[in-house]
Structure 1
Amino acid sequence: MTEIRVRLLGEDEWPAYRDVRLRALRESPEAFVASADEEAAFDDTVWQQRMERSRRLLAEAGEDVVGVVSVGTGHRTNIPGAGELFGLWVEAARRGTGVARKLMEEAAKVGRDEGLRQLVYWVGTDNGRAVAFASSFGFRPTDDRRPMRIRGVDDEDAESEEMMMVYPLGDHGGVPTSL
C-alpha cells in the first residue's frame, strides 16, 4: 500500500478542499450535518472564506486524496484556548489503516502551532466507531451534548445527538494530560 502523507492546505488550494469535502458528503452523508447538494451549490467565495477561517489537512496516497480533517482556531467554540477538530473523513477503502490517526496527529500539531491548549471534537453518540477511535487517540468524553440533524440521508433529515470530546494539547508530543 502507498505511504500516506498528510499536508496542510494553503488558502489558495480551496478547490482541493472543496472536491474532497463534497466527496466526503456524498460517500458518508450520515456522518455530517451538511448535505452534498447543499454545499455543491456554494459559490467559490464561500469555499475561499472557509479556507480563511480554519486549517484544512489532506491525507494523500500518491496522487490520490484519501482523507481530510479541519482545525478551527476558536471561531466555533467558546472555550478559552480551545479549537475545534471537525469534518474528519477517510475514504471507505482506507478506514482502519491508520489514515485517520495520521490526520489527527497532524491536526494536533497544527493546534499546538496555533497556540491552542485543547481541541474539541463533536462526535455522534450513535457512531461507535468514531467514539472508539477518538477515545483511543486520547480524546475524553464530556457531559456536553447537542442535537444533530443529518441532512440528505434517504431523502429525509434524521435527528441524532453529538457529544463533545476534548483532547489536551501540551508540550508532550501528543500524549494526553489529565483533564
Structure 2
Amino acid sequence: MSEITVRRLAEDEWEQYKTARLNALEESPEAFAASLEDERGYDEEFWRTRLGRSQRLLAEVEGRTVGVVSVGQAQEGNDRVAELFGLWVTPDARGTGVATELVHAAADEARTQGRSHLAYWVGSDNGRAVAFASGCGFRPTDSRRPMRVQNGEDEEDEVAMVLPLGEDRGTPSL
C-alpha cells in the first residue's frame, strides 16, 4: 500500500467529511449510533456545524479517502480528556495500518488541545476492537455504558478505554 496521510478537515471541507461519513454509515451501519437515512438528508449548515463541534481527521492514500475519525470533548466539564469516536476505515484498507495512523493522529490532536488522556468507547464483546485499542496503548477502565449503535441489541455494553497522552498515567473519571 502507498503512503497513508492523515489530515485535519477544515469547515469548508464539509463535503469531504459528509461523503466519508455517509460511506461509513452505508458500509458499516451496525457500527454507528446514527442512520444513513437520517444523515443523508442533512444540509450544508448541519455538516459545517458538525465540523465545528469536533475535530475530524481524514486518512487518504494517493488522494483517495480510506478512513475517518473524530476527536471531541469526552465529558462535559472534564477538559483533560478528549474522546475518539466515529473511527471507520474502508474495507479494502483494513489491516493496512490506516486505523492505527488515524488513532495516532487523533492522539496528537488531543495533545495539541492540551488533553492528558484520550478515551475510546469499545463494545465489550468486540474482541477485535478491544485488541486493536489495546495494541494502540489504550487500557480498559471500569466505566461502562449501554451500547449506542444501531445494531438492535439491547444487552450489549461498551467499555471506556483510555490512552494516557503524557506524564499522567492515571485513569481519569469518565
Q: Assess same fold via TM > 0.5.
A: yes
How many residues are aligned here?
Answer: 169
Q: Secondary structure at the match of 2:133?
A: helix
Q: How many angstroms apart in 2 are the aligned matches of 1:126 and 1:31?
A: 13
**TM-score normalised according to structure 2 size:** 0.90
Q: Secondary structure at the match of 2:95?
A: coil
Q: Secondary structure at the match of 2:33?
A: coil
Q: How many angstroms apart in 2 are the aligned matches of 1:11 and 1:59?
A: 17
**Given the alignment of the two structures, is residue 158 of structure 1 paired with residue 153 of structure 2, yes or no?**
yes
Q: Secondary structure at the match of 2:158?
A: strand
Q: How many angstroms apart in 2 are the aligned matches of 1:82 and 1:126?
A: 24
> Which residue matches 2:124?
125
Q: How many angstroms apart in 2 are the aligned matches of 1:104 and 1:158?
A: 27
In the TM superposition, 1:4-15 aligns within 5 A as: 4-15=4-15
RMSD, matched Cα: 1.6
Q: What is the CA distance between 1:158 and its match in structure 2?
A: 3.0
> Which residue matches 2:166?
170
Gaps (5+ residues) in structure 2? none
In the TM superposition, 1:1-179 aligns within 5 A as: 1-72=1-72, 74=73, 76-78=74-76, 79-151=78-150, 157-159=152-154, 160-170=156-166, 177=169, 179=171
List per-residue Cα deviations over 1:36-64 (Å, max 9, x = no partner).
Answer: 11211222211111111110101001121
Gaps (5+ residues) in structure 1? none
List per-residue Cα deviations over 1:116-143 (Å, max 9, x = no partner).
Answer: 1111111111221111100111111111
Q: Secondary structure at the match of 1:2?
A: coil
Hey, which bits of structure 1, 4+ residues long, moved more than 2 A?
157-160, 176-179
Contact 1:149–1:158 (CA under 8 A) maintained in structure 2: no
Contact 1:25–1:32 (CA under 8 A) maintained in structure 2: yes
Q: Secondary structure at the match of 2:24?
A: helix
